[in-house]
A = this chain, B = another copy of it.
Amino acid sequence: MLDHIAETSASAAGQTRASAFPPGVAWIDGRFVSMEEARIPVLDWGFLRSDATYDVVHVWQGKFFRLDAHVERFQRSVEKLRMKLPFERAELEAILHACVRRAGLRDAYVEMICTRGHSPDFSRDPRKAINRFIAFAIPFGWIATEEQRRRGLSLWVASIPRIPPASVDPTVKNYHWLDLVQGMFEAYDNNAESVVLSDGAGHITEGPGFNLFAVKDGRVYTTDRGVLEGITRRTALELCAELGLETQVAPLPLETLRSADEAFITSTAGGIMPVGQLDGKAYTQPCPGPITSALSQLYWSKHEDPAWTTPVDYDSADS
């Protein structure tokens, strides 16, 4: 029977491998490799315990956007999990630049990861593990398709509450997503396109890879707890200040989101994107609403601002 298994699976896996990996370049265990070759040991606790943290910065038209903010958050996350990066910050950034350069990308999604690693003596003690740093650059990807960005995403509020901050600190960007994934299935079952989770007590938290905002009577609302403090979330708040918009960062009742004039999501994977429907009900204002549009335009214009951008080093000789 195993002959048969090995044969059919190898062939299935072969087919999968041929088509399944995006172009891109990763850095792992001291080497630059293709995305297909970028593999972590099954025994790494980053996998077997989801004992890992990460960050994602994007490159747009050849420039990193807010690289400092992402790297600083990543370093804080690593420290909070009591891990150690094998490099100083300058070396870490040099690896990110090199991944983008080697991938030849002008618009990229660049992820940096620190896993616990695994114990050299198969102990169960995380203190003994050698932490592993991984980075990769792949083509820029959007959370919402072009059509969804034009007409607004259809979101579903799941019955599953987000993992509470007391159990897993959401300000440490992490891979604990089973609640979000199960919520996505619930959204699909209800003909929605993505999901947002509550805190189980009537307040909105976040969705898979994004923060959520509501706009009502010209004021912009987002939650202050139970979520990743997204860099795009922070950017949106700063752009609100620049536009003279009032903001309220406080627990966000589901009711505020439902009765909003506009709603939008924020993510490194797409910036500021409109929500068109919630639980199958369309927002009354034409989508995208005026405040969402103004913020989104300003967001993209900031991709030319030297204060928030770092040109990718495309010229260094590759090692």
A178-B174, A185-B82 given as contacts; is B29 within 8 A of A91 (CB)? no
CA distance A7 to B319 in the complex (A): 9
Distance A35 CA – B41 CA, assembled complex (angstroms): 8
Assuming the contacts A124-B209, A175-B49, asked whether A41 and B43 have C-beta atoms less than 8 A apart, the reply is: no
A176 contacts B by Cβ under 8 Å: yes
Rounded to whole Å, the gap between the CB of A136 and the closest CB of chain B is 6
For the complex, what is the distance from the CA of A22 to the CA of B50, rounded to whole Å?
Answer: 20
In this complex, what residue of B is CB-closest to A197?
B167
A36 to B43, CA, bound (A): 9
Write out the residue numbers on chain B whose beta carbons fall within 8 Å of the beta carbon of A163: 163-164, 167-168, 176
- Minimum distance in angstroms from A179 CB to a CB of chain B: 5
- Determine whether A249 belongs to the interface, using a CB cutoff of 8 Å to chain B: no
Check B5–A29 contact: CB distance below 8 A.
Answer: no
Residues of B within 8 A of A122 (CB): 22, 138-139, 141
A196 CB-CB contact with B under 8 Å: no
Task: Name the CB-closest residue of B to A33.
Answer: B42
**Is there a chain B Cβ closer than 8 Å to A184's Cβ?**
yes
A30 adjacent to B2 (CB under 8 Å): no
Asked whether A286 is an interface residue with its Cβ less than 8 Å from the other chain, the reply is no
Tell yes or no: A263 within 8 A of B by CB. Answer: no
Residue-wise interface mask of A (63-92) relative to B, using a CB-CB cutoff of 8 A (1 in contact, 0 not): 000000000000000000110001100110
- Chain A positions 1 through 39: 1 when the CB is less than 8 Å from some CB of chain B, otherwise 0: 111011111111110110111100010111110011011
* Bound form: Cα–Cα A162–B38 in Å: 32
Contact A319 B5 (CB under 8 A): yes
Say yes or no: A12 contacts B40, CB within 8 Å: no
Q: Which of A29, A86, A136 gathers the greatest number of chain B CB atoms within 10 Å?
A: A29
Give me the interface of A with B, judged by CB distance under 8 Å. 1-3, 5-14, 16-17, 19-22, 26, 28-32, 35-36, 38-43, 45-52, 81-82, 86-87, 90-91, 94-95, 98, 113, 116, 118-120, 122, 124-127, 130, 134, 136, 138-139, 141, 143, 160-164, 166-168, 172, 174-182, 184-185, 188, 200, 208-209, 316, 318-319
A1-B91, A2-B98, A163-B167 are known; give 13 further A-B pairs, CB within 8 A: A1-B90, A6-B32, A14-B30, A20-B118, A22-B122, A35-B41, A38-B43, A39-B42, A45-B181, A47-B47, A49-B180, A50-B176, A168-B176
